[in-house]
Structures are given as structure tokens and as C-alpha cells.
Structure 1
């Protein structure tokens, strides 16, 4: 697993001396002393550089430069570490760092059009080319570039929400009954990531005292349309602090796998643990390595559905699995057509962490859960191996 920290002065000298070969010599840096004289590159105080290590080896660096409405993203990998999958991991962590520093400002980058290797890496990490190629002069010379923009990670926008409602309007009966089996009248219940309410609403209909939290405004709007009295709030889980304690907290549909940064996932699970009342129970599911998708080289049409207004809604996806980070990248392109006319499009950078048997159990132990049961089915059959297609966790202190 990669570790990182703010780039030190010593590291800036080292990185500036990296030498690339062939076409990539254009990425060779000026000596750091020259950069300091011009206050450029590593010496620009507006840049935010972070160094990445695999154990004691310096693997690469990233740069985050805040602008008025977005954040410029740069990345460099040690010539000795290229083509080893580190770029994907570094980009994933860079997105989390950017969010912590600059909130929801979108990331963008600029890449030379001939650098197909880098473009493929960025696309797999959820970036897409925006607009036409353009020419510009940089410190390393003149070139033709693409601007690439980071899709919003795991955020359900309007088209995504609409298709979700078509495909997943009602909760599967076996899954619903599984989560209902832990609920009792008089309990205070919380469903984080409640979405458009396919589980939340059946709990309400059974007169259970349930509260919900979700980051997607579009998803919550759908829920409120169906149940105007729903007690829900739009918030990031890390920023949600009602001060209340809950007897039962549950997260359905493998949604915990959406937290691909393991450190962040642990932090969120810790937040949920602190929200539990004495003798409270946390129940959730994750996807497993048995769900690895076949590799795609191009976007392919995955779903075609007709909306209630007679429009055609298409989802195109392109799958890539990163073995080192156990991350399934499945960026989606949503397109809404009226006849043959494209009316609206929307991108989603869908990522999930696929778990191995015993992995999450270790994290839960570190957090402080002493009683954990792992199931492989909604009938509560105990999990046994990586071949199980899902893991369901029942956790108590």
C-alpha cells in the first residue's frame, strides 16, 4: 500500500533529477536550483506537492494547484516505477487529498495527445477528454494537448438517478427481509446512503422510526417525492453529526464498497460506531473479488431503457480492475435521447473496492467491534472464502 506526505526539499532535488527516455524525455525537469530562481515548478508556493512511497522507494509525486473554480492536477512517476499500476493508486489518493483541501472543486489536467499510455491511465481513473485538442507552450516546450476532467466519483446525478429508479425501483424481497430482521418497534434506526428510498420507505411503511442520510440531492428529491414526511438530510457522512444515538444502523446494496480509500472507509465506519447506542448493531454489505468485471478497451452499451416521458436513456460503461488496490473502475456515460437527438449527457466515475475474505473483519476489529459475524447470503449462511459474491457484516461492540 502506498504512503504519502508533503514533498520535502530533499525530495524536490531528487525528483528534478529523474531522467526519462525516448519520447518521454520531454518530461525531464529543470534542476531544482533553476526552478527556485524562477519560482516555478516545485518552487511555486501556490503548488501543493505530495510524494508517494512503496515502503522506502520513492514512487512518484502529485501536484494540486487551486484555481478559481477548479483544481489543476499534475502527476509524475519515477522512471523506474512506470507501467506498474502506481498511477491509478496515486490518482485515487490525489482525489481524496483535493477534496480535503479544496472541497468539491473539480479536478482537471492537461496531457499531450501522443501520450496514449497516460491518457489510458487517466481514463481508467475516471477522467475524460473535454473539447478539442489545443496547442500551447509549456516549460518543457510547445505541444498539442487534451484537457481532461475528472468525473464526479460515485455521485448520483439526475440521469443516473433516473436510470436507478427504472432499474431498482423496489428493494429485492430477500434483501429487504434481511435488513428488517434486525429492526424492532421502538428502535431508533439510521440508514446512511439511503438513496431514493427503496429500503427506507418500506421501513417507514412498517411504522419504524427511521432516519436517513445521503449526499445526492437528486436521490433525496426522489425519496421526498414518494414520502414527503421522510426524516432525511443531505450530508457527507463524515460531516454528519446529529449527536443522536441509534439502536440499529444499516447500509444496503454493497454501498460501503464505494469508499475505495481504505483509510476513509475506516474513518466512516468509526463515525457510525460512535453513533450506535449501547448494545446497538451495525449491519452492512460489501462487494467481493468474486465480482471482478471483464476488462473493456472501449465504452460499451450496457443498458437501454425508455423513460416515462418516452425518451431513450442509455448507459455506456468501460470496466477496468486494478489488482493492487482491489478497485473496480466502471466509469459510466449516461445519454438521454429524444428520437436520434442527444438531449442530455452525464458522466459518473463509479468505483468500488472489492473485498477479500477476512479483510473487512480485520478493519472492524481495529475500529473496536468485538462481535462480528460475516454472512454470504441474506439467509445468513456464513461466509467461507473469496468465492462468495457478497459479504454481509453484523457488528456489535
Structure 2
């Protein structure tokens, strides 16, 4: 948890969560529609992951890795699903040529506030044509999991191939959800504290809890995120979905779609990938 969250506040959070769960749902829970989102509101998104409970440094831990990848493989750089610019912004601040694409106006709105050195473009990663090629195209932490269907993934790969220079690199980074500790931690039916952050509208402290569910046959992770201001009794719930590609599956999909995997890493320390590694990072080039 962020250092800004005191033990006293944490105890208050736990107390409020327990109190909330004891109340009838109809009195305290408001389900957001498919067109509404707190999680993907750019103003909330950065705050959620700046104060992400399991790993308080999640928002910064991979920046040195991506900086090194650019130093090795060159620029210009294209980031897919750039969001609010967490990766693109620090790369551009080093004077690198960076383009970021995302489908969300809200995310891009926050990204544009951070930097005018990045070329921010609204586009669908499954269907884009930027009219130029890149030395490095990156899919940073878990972004590829938003592509729920194999057809979407393959459409994305086709766009990547059109935009990658002949000697360019394509890098995918995703958490390895198929380790025993992760499975045991992630798929508990009990609500887990997810984030605590100051509400961007100044209404107090927002507490986020999560309940995860895995559809094994479809490899779809469903997360119900519960958003609640400590000072209020009502709670908003939002469901998000991710398609958890297995590392071996992703490796095969890359090969079948015309990429050659040069290196498979298990984390930002660049150790080789193993079945127990925390991440699966594939560094690829175009096939012949």
C-alpha cells in the first residue's frame, strides 16, 4: 500500500468493508452499466494503480526495463493500449520518439495532460493504420489481455506486422497467471483490498475491493471491482474481463501469425522464462 495510507486509515478501511458486506446489497450497491466506468476513467485509473494494494510500486517497476529495450532496439516506438501514458510519457521525456494509441478518450485525455512530446492517437489496436513503421512496438503489462477473442488478437497482430520495420522488434509483456501461488491468491471467492486513493473530485478517500472469478474453459478472468467512498454508505460495482492467455499458447499464436520469438523472459530482471516466472515477456521479430 502507498506510504500515504496510514495504519489508522487501513483499520478504518477494513472496518468499513466489513460494515458494507453486512448490509443488504439493494441498500448499498449500484451496478454500473456497460457504458459506465470508474476503473477506465483516466482520472481514477492512475490513482488506482499508484496506490495498488498488492504492489505499491507497480506503476514504476517496469519503466527501466522498457527504457533499456528502446536503447537496444531503437526508435521510433509504438505503444499499443497506451492508456494514460504510464510507459510512453517517461520514454518521451528522455527525448525518444514515441507514439501511443488507445481507444479510450478518457485515458488519452489524461495522457495529453502529461506530455505533448508523445503522438497520442485514438485508435483500435485491432484495426489501425498510422501510415508509418516503427523500430519497436510494445504491448506493456497485461494490455494484450484486453483482447478477449483470438480473432481480435490475430487482427492486432496483422496491424503490428504492417507497422513494424523489417528489422524491428515486437514485445509483449503479460503476467503469468498460471503459477500455483498466483492461482491460489487470485481466485479466492472472498473480497480483497485492491486500492485506496484520494477521490479526484475531492469527495474523500476511495476504497476499492475486488472479487475475482475465472472461467477456466474460456480462460476469461472476471473481476468485480467495488468502489466506495469511506465517507458514504453506497458502493458502485463494475465488472472487468481479461482473456488470460497461457504463455505457451501465446508463444504458439505468435508463431502461427508470422512472428519469430527471439527471447522469452520471466521478468524485468531479464531472467529466462520458466513455468514459475512472474511474467511472460516475448521479444519477437517478423518471420521471413
TM range (shorter): 0.7 to 0.9
1:302 to 177, 188, 194: 194
Q: Which residue of 2 aligns with 1:266?
A: 154
How far the C-alpha of 1:150 sits from its partner, in A, is 4.4
3-state secondary structure, aligned to 2:221:
strand
Instruction: Find out whether 1:379 has 2:269 as its counterpart.
Output: yes
How far the C-alpha of 1:336 sits from its partner, in A, is 3.9
Structure 1 CA distance, aligned partners of 2:58 and 2:208? 21
Correspondence 1:113-132 to 2 at 5 A: none
Instruction: Find out whether 1:164 has 2:48 as its counterpart.
Output: yes
Moved over 6 A (4+): 151-155, 168-171
3-state secondary structure, aligned to 1:324:
coil
Structure 2 CA distance for partners of 1:188 and 1:304, relative to 1, 3 Å: closer
How far the C-alpha of 1:223 sits from its partner, in A, is 1.6
The number of residues matched between the two structures is 249
Please tell me whether the aligned partners of residues 126 and 153 of structure 2 are also in contact (alpha carbons under 8 angstroms): no
2:69 to 182, 185, 191: 182
Structure of greater relative contact order (alpha carbons < 8 Å, 6+ residues apart): 2
Please tell me whether the aligned partners of residues 59 and 86 of structure 2 are also in contact (alpha carbons under 8 angstroms): no
Please tell me whether the aligned partners of residues 80 and 125 of structure 2 are also in contact (alpha carbons under 8 angstroms): yes
Instruction: Find out whether 1:351 has 2:238 as its counterpart.
Output: no
Can you list the C-alpha shifts for 1:247-304, whole angstroms capped at 9, x where unaligned? 101121121122222221222122212210110101111232223312326x555333
Structure 2 CA distance for partners of 1:390 and 1:165, relative to 1, 3 Å: closer
Instruction: Find out whether 1:281 has 2:173 as its counterpart.
Output: no
Structure 2 CA distance for partners of 1:352 and 1:287, relative to 1, 3 Å: farther
Ranges in structure 1 where 5+ consecutive residues have no aligned partner: 1-128, 132-146
3-state secondary structure, aligned to 2:209:
strand
Ranges in structure 2 where 5+ consecutive residues have no aligned partner: 1-24
How far the C-alpha of 1:182 sits from its partner, in A, is 2.2
Q: Which residue of 2 aligns with 1:388?
A: 277
Structure 1 CA distance, aligned partners of 2:153 and 2:171? 15
With structure 1 as the length reference, what TM-score do the two structures score? 0.55
Q: Which residue of 2 aligns with 1:321?
A: 214
Structure 2 CA distance, aligned partners of 1:218 and 1:187? 27
Structure 2 CA distance, aligned partners of 1:157 and 1:336? 16
Relative to total residues, which structure has the larger strand share, 1 or 2?
1
Q: Which residue of 1 aligns with 2:204?
A: 311
Please tell me whether the aligned partners of residues 137 and 170 of structure 2 are also in contact (alpha carbons under 8 angstroms): yes
Structure 2 CA distance, aligned partners of 1:391 and 1:167? 24
**Which of these two proteins has the greater Rg computed from alpha carbons?**
1
Q: Which residue of 1 aligns with 2:112?
A: 224
Correspondence 1:203-218 to 2 at 5 A: 203-218=91-106
Structure 2 CA distance for partners of 1:152 and 1:361, relative to 1, 3 Å: farther
How far the C-alpha of 1:376 sits from its partner, in A, is 0.5
3-state secondary structure, aligned to 2:256:
helix
Can you list the C-alpha shifts for 1:299-351, whole angstroms capped at 9, x where unaligned? 555333334636111213221111112222112132346x3365xx6554322
Can you list the C-alpha shifts for 1:83-132, whole angstroms capped at 9, x where unaligned? xxxxxxxxxxxxxxxxxxxxxxxxxxxxxxxxxxxxxxxxxxxxxx999x
